[in-house]
Amino acid sequence: MATVDDNWYALIKRPDGTTQKVPTSRHGVGSRWLVRWRDDAGTPRKKSFARKADAERAAAEIETELARGTYLDPDAGMIRFRDYAEQWRQAQFSDPGTTYQVGIRFRLHVYPTLGHLPLRTITPSFIRQWTSGLRMARSYQRTIFANVSQVFNAAIADDLIAKNPCQSGTVRKPVPDPRTIIPWPARWVADVREALPARYAVLATLAAGAGLRQGEILGLTPDDIDTRQGTVHVRRQVKLTASNQPYLALPKGRKTRSVPVPASVIDAVLDQITDHPARTLTLPWDRPDGDPLTVSLVFTSRESTPVNRHYFNAKIWKPALVVAGVPPTRDNGCHALRHYYASVLLDGGESIKTVSERLGHADPAFTLRTYTHLLPSSESRTKEIIDSALPALPRRPGPRPCATDVPRSSR
């Protein structure tokens, strides 16, 4: 039960059993009205107010929250956003690279505005003010906004705050700019493959013919090439720390998969292994400080080290684009060959679910959102499907007027 006391006085008991109100050392100092209660753990708590009406209102709210089981410690939510977000960030992600990237986003785009504020004091108006000041691509804004919202959701789970200000109806989430993926023509794939150095040419074949991510290709071993089944097993990827130190990890989303490929792709990889034998390397597994794992990588640098994707993209891939006559833009990175692979499968009639599995996406809905504009569309096919499904309809003999010839009153 929450009670309201006069903070300037104390009640003392006289010998005759009556009580007397006497001034305390706080008489005339600070807030006068004091709310006292015990929290869910039975710990005595108190809070001062300047007005009796405010104290009584707070006491009623505390009693209601305690009865409903929705009580929150009023002091717990006073931790600064920066302090809590750093705790959350370090514990949230298993991938050190993701932890680092989220930290960069927060330090550059969140902490300057919200970092010094206590969690409980951040209202939807603060969030609106913060989002209005973001100046970057909307897709990046959306990513940062989602991370901030995750922090508030975690604070709710920890009983620090009651509501997520990012989810208020008055807050507009950043909407990414509409982006339509335009698949490469087959000629570009062939020309870029020809322009790449011999030791890396099959990389384009694997990306366009199996839909593998760049890091997954760089993490392939000869054992991943199943010549009997005609599949490529995607079991790991090569990742880099912020200081460019390589380590091995599971594919994105920690999902392994097997991708069926034609004999031509298998033969190209086997030729690569023959011309440039795989090199045995020992790298940390799962984390930069993880246990060492020895693997035989199909793709290595001339110095027999793991291929550094930053070096590869800048010094090998982009020059190959220029030689092939392909614009060396960000949209034409190695990932463009995955888009080509997806477009070929969809054009050939594969389902979204199958394409999602081949690409290693976490959710077919993401695949649909990304590639829905590439799905085959045909008016005549629609008509044929419906016509074949409908029961046979009676037909009257004789010619029929065109719809435009029917009088308006009879339509």
Considering the entire predicted model, what is its pTM?
A: 0.70
Among residues 167, 194, 219, which one ends one of the domains?
167
User: Residue 340 in 3-state DSSP?
Assistant: helix
In the predicted model, is pLDDT for residue 42 greater than 90? no
In a domain, 215, yes or no: yes
Asked whether residue 158 falls in the same domain as residue 195, the answer is: no
Neighbours of 155 (CB within 10 A): 24
Distance (Å, rounded) from C-alpha 329 to C-alpha 295? 33
In a domain, 112, yes or no: yes
Which carries the bigger pLDDT value, residue 253 or residue 62? 253
In a domain, 396, yes or no: no
Asked whether residue 209 falls in the same domain as residue 357, the answer is: yes
Q: How many domains does the chain have?
A: 3
Asked whether residue 51 falls in the same domain as residue 88, the answer is: no
Distance (Å, rounded) from C-alpha 306 to C-alpha 186? 29
Alpha-helix runs per DSSP H in 244-307: 263-275
Take residue 26 and report the two structure tokens written for it: 């706080």
Q: What is the CATH number of the domain that holds 364?
A: 1.10.443.10
User: Residue 362 in 3-state DSSP?
Assistant: coil
In a domain, 172, yes or no: no
Stretch (H or E) spanning 231: strand 231-234
Asked whether residue 236 falls in the same domain as residue 281, the answer is: yes
Asked whether residue 108 falls in the same domain as residue 42, the answer is: no
138: which residues sit within 8 A by CB, 6+ positions away? 174, 175, 176, 177
Mean pLDDT of the chain: 86
8-state DSSP, 393:
P
Tell me the residue range of the domain where 234 lies.
Answer: 186-373
In the predicted model, is pLDDT for residue 259 greater than 50? yes
Check: CB of residue 252 under 8 Å from CB of residue 213: yes
pLDDT tens per residue, range 138-194 = 889 999 999 999 999 999 988 888 889 999 999 999 887 767 888 999 999 999 999
Take residue 69 and report the two structure tokens written for it: 């089981």
Asked whether residue 199 falls in the same domain as residue 84, the answer is: no
Q: What is the CATH number of the domain that holds 99?
A: 1.10.150.130
In a domain, 311, yes or no: yes
Neighbours of 238 (CB within 10 A): 24
In the predicted model, is pLDDT for residue 272 greater than 50? yes
In a domain, 389, yes or no: no
pLDDT tens per residue, range 24-41 = 766 666 677 777 877 766
Asked whether residue 61 falls in the same domain as residue 131, the answer is: no
pLDDT tens per residue, range 210-257 = 999 999 999 999 999 999 999 999 999 999 988 889 999 999 989 999
Distance (Å, rounded) from C-alpha 86 to C-alpha 147? 12
